[in-house]
Structure 1
Amino acid sequence: MIRSLLACLCLGALLCACAQEAPPAPPSPAYLPDGRPETLSSWGQLAVGGGELVLGEAVTPYHLATSLFTDYAQKLRTVWIPADAGPAGYDPEGAFDFPVGTVITKTFYYPRAQGGFDHVALAGAGMAHYADRRLDLTQVRLIETRVLVHRETGWVALPYIWNDAQTEATLARAGGFIDLVLVSEAGDQALGYAVPNVNQCAGCHETDTMDGVGARPIGPRARHMNTDFEYFDGVANQIDHWSELGLLTGSPASDDAPRNVAWHGELPLTGEALDHAARAYLDINCSHCHSRTGPADTSGLYLEADEPVGPHLGVCKLPIAAGRGTGNHRYDIVPGSAEDSILTHRLASVQSDVMMPELGRALSHEEGVALIAAWIDAMSGGCG
């Protein structure tokens, strides 16, 4: 009788264990030299199972010192370079020179909130639910994953949208819209999250219209990457760690590399801390277009972190072909008066023909606008 009871208990425990799906083994990454795979799993960069998103073998996570704003979404960024492709070449200014075969992914997700599958929570800095190469899907909702692959013909950008079951993401060449409810202490807010189409992805990533290369990575630059990351085996500087892993060659020690500050919404700031945070924010959010080689080069407004303070940074600069975007203001930046500056007006707007950036958001980044407003208000001089 006792043996039979024990046998039943063991069998029950075994059945319960089987009912709980085990996390998947790390998949084997693949470089696909042509075509547009219909499923994200075809790339082997990520795998889903047992309530977790798992990184593929030798797929390395990373983040940026200050992140691009995308409607408060959190982001899991990864890079994978085939073992026989060789490392990426270091560049002190532009994106690292990744070899053919490199696959970069960026997965957008939100913390789940009470109220249903479409309810997501506003949160601070990303990676809050990521640990030990795994993302806890019981706590977050996956929205989209963007793949950037370096082929013989150049970089190709492909957007994938996750299904409601959170088991697979499928190619969305035409982009898409996902209706969400953003939940915060201020209340619930409807959010029409926009996934960019293939052409929009390529357009944003064409950061140099002069050299004919086309799309390329935006984030993996020395000044954005020169920050610490909490890897599963400890905290390390990303440039140093990539060099140790053989992912990057030719780089100096991180102490000698360019560095933007890490800003994740902290306010208020003053003095140098305010200036450095504002410049880093404009750099990552705006300078891929607003540079001397970017798509907005004819605007004369250049927002890279090292641009000297003056008219090209927007100070007392008249706009070029801004139309309704000026908000009836005269200058891009009026020192001492954010209220009279076109820059803050466009950052705060959600009107399609006014707002900047033009793509990637449906909401105004309240903390970002407050940062840039404080930075402008702290300037002295005025425009005469």
Structure 2
Amino acid sequence: MKKLVIILLALFVVACNNDDDSVVDTCDKATNTQANNITTTSATLTWSDSNAAGSYIIEYGVSGFALGSGTTLTETTTSVEIESLLPQTTYDVYIQVVCSADNLSMYSDVFSFTTATLPVIPELRPTLSELNLFSGALGDLNPSSKTFEYDLNTKLFTDYASKQRLIALPEGETMTYTGDGLPLFPDNTVIAKTFYYNNNETDLSQGKNIIETRILLKTNGVWELGNYKWNDAQTEATLDTDGAVVPVTWINTNGESQSVDYKIPSNTDCFTCHSNNSQVAVIGPKLRTLNFNVNGSNQLQALIDNNMLEGLTDPNTVSVLPNWEDESLGLERRARAYIDINCAHCHIEGGFCAEQSNLRLAYETPYEESNIYQKRNSIEARIQNNIPEYGMPLIGTTIIHDEGVALLLDYLSSLE
């Protein structure tokens, strides 16, 4: 019996020794993956290998791709340049170390990087996508990281259309604070406003119908304007100087079906409102109209923090144009704010109506100098009318704004 045990032990030792001869050394996975020299379409990847192997398999794809479905490269050094990438896109990378033909490491931990963003093009190119204002599918209206999305505390009425507003400054440039009105914009600034209707305001998952994107760009101290009309597929918008009429149907917040023949203005129409002293002028983004919180953050402070506005350190020193829809405010403040955003660009010194009318409707104009009281009967008649060349505003709407008109009628009837 003892002899049998000794024999078995001897066989076990021999077997173990034979196994040791065939053991494959562990092939450790790659570590410390990094991306350098990142451009809009390429990046250089490097990684560390404790095995000193001579071959590596790199697999990459748009973030979230399944292993086995990505692009695969084989390299002999711990560095590789990958090309033909999409701008402003996040990619995942996995690396396998090839210690020998039958000895591969486990995949490295996923490494992710994002390609650079294309610069916004301050030119009126034939198609909107060429301006690089958006990332991803154009119809998703995802702003490029090179832009600043903003809103207005009190908004212009345009046949109940929703609007997305963007400012893009040239790299390294800022706007300059000059007071509560418009800042000084540097050359090559692009301002974009996209008009759309949610198909169903009670269920935003039903998507939107994008109609037009209006562009203002500044070159050599002069503003230029252009309109881009969106196609039915919502995949592109084309520069159109002639204007158009687009029938639109949507469901409002009350669940009621609405329709309008939306009018895209021609360049001549745009100049009617966007002009002062016969020069193209900006209307909306006055600092007093931006000075409120959006998603819990003050917009002026965000511009300061993003190094987009210089000369201002405290937004509290800037006045605020009231929100005309805020019923907690007094009737006069609400009405004057509504008039400012909807009418004052024409009824100010140098505006389109400056010589035709003595109305001066900027919010900061003292009431006694506005001539609102003297013109109250004319105002009342024209805001309730949409007869061409008589109804007010002259252009920009095709239907009467019931809520705005009701506010102004209450205000006008209160004047003494």
- The superposition leaves residues 128-159 of structure 1 with CA deviations (integer Å, 9 ceiling, x where unpaired) of 96xxxxxx7x5211111111111125111110
Q: Which moved more, 1:54-63 or 1:245-254?
A: 245-254
TM-fit CA distance, 1:312: 2.9
Any stretches of 5+ residues in structure 2 without a counterpart? 1-64, 71-85, 90-115
| Contact 1:28 1:57 (8 Å CA) reproduced | no
TM-fit CA distance, 1:187: 5.0
Match of 2:186 among 99, 102, 106: 99
Separation (CA, whole Å) in 2 of partners of 1:46 and 1:253: 30
Q: How does 1:264-343 map to 2 (within 5 A)?
A: 264=325, 269=327, 272-298=329-355, 299-310=357-368, 312-315=370-373, 317=374, 332-333=375-376, 341-343=377-379
Q: Which residue does the alignment assign to 2:303?
A: 242
Separation (CA, whole Å) in 2 of partners of 1:50 and 1:364: 31
Separation (CA, whole Å) in 2 of partners of 1:50 and 1:305: 37
Distance change (3 Å), C-alpha of 1:224 and 1:170: same
Q: How does 1:1-384 map to 2 (within 5 A)?
A: 25=89, 28-32=118-122, 36-49=124-137, 52-84=140-172, 86-113=173-200, 138-152=206-220, 154-184=222-252, 185=254, 188-206=257-275, 208-209=276-277, 214-230=279-295, 235-264=296-325, 269=327, 272-298=329-355, 299-310=357-368, 312-315=370-373, 317=374, 332-333=375-376, 341-379=377-415, 381=416
Q: Relative CO higher for 1 or 2, CA cutoff 8 Å, sep ≥ 6?
A: 1
- The superposition leaves residues 75-110 of structure 1 with CA deviations (integer Å, 9 ceiling, x where unpaired) of 0000010123x2111122432111001111001111
- The superposition leaves residues 152-191 of structure 1 with CA deviations (integer Å, 9 ceiling, x where unpaired) of 2511111001111111111111111101234445954441
| Contact 2:193 2:213 (8 Å CA) reproduced | yes
Separation (CA, whole Å) in 2 of partners of 1:256 and 1:97: 18
| Contact 2:274 2:282 (8 Å CA) reproduced | yes
Give the letter aligned to residue 186 of structure 2.
P
Q: Which residue does the alignment assign to 1:322?
A: none
Give the letter aligned to residue 88 of structure 1.
M
Separation (CA, whole Å) in 1 of partners of 2:313 and 2:360: 27
Distance change (3 Å), C-alpha of 1:51 and 1:249: closer
TM-fit CA distance, 1:220: 1.2
| Contact 1:226 1:258 (8 Å CA) reproduced | yes
**Identity percentage over the alignment?**
30
| Contact 2:139 2:235 (8 Å CA) reproduced | no
TM-fit CA distance, 1:197: 1.1
Separation (CA, whole Å) in 1 of partners of 2:117 and 2:305: 23
Any stretches of 5+ residues in structure 1 without a counterpart? 1-12, 114-120, 130-135, 318-331, 334-340
SS at match of 2:280: coil
Q: Which moved more, 1:251-260 or 1:75-84?
A: 251-260
Give the letter aligned to residue 54 of structure 1.
N
| Contact 1:47 1:54 (8 Å CA) reproduced | yes
Separation (CA, whole Å) in 2 of partners of 1:50 and 1:300: 44
Separation (CA, whole Å) in 1 of partners of 2:364 and 2:153: 16
Q: Which moved more, 1:251-260 or 1:56-65?
A: 251-260
Distance change (3 Å), C-alpha of 1:95 and 1:346: same
Separation (CA, whole Å) in 1 of partners of 2:243 and 2:117: 26
Q: Which residue does the alignment assign to 1:7?
A: none
TM-fit CA distance, 1:292: 2.0
| Contact 1:301 1:313 (8 Å CA) reproduced | yes
TM-fit CA distance, 1:311: 5.8
Give the letter aligned to residue 233 of structure 2.
A
TM-fit CA distance, 1:353: 2.4
Q: Which residue does the alignment assign to 2:58?
A: none
Give the letter aligned to residue 247 of structure 1.
M
Separation (CA, whole Å) in 2 of partners of 1:60 and 1:243: 12
Distance change (3 Å), C-alpha of 1:294 and 1:51: closer
Number of equivalenced pairs: 308
TM-fit CA distance, 1:290: 0.3
Tell which structure's C-alpha radius of gyration is larger: 2
With normalisation by structure 2, the TM-score equals 0.68
TM-fit CA distance, 1:27: 5.2
TM-fit CA distance, 1:274: 1.6
Distance change (3 Å), C-alpha of 1:148 and 1:350: same
TM-fit CA distance, 1:238: 1.1
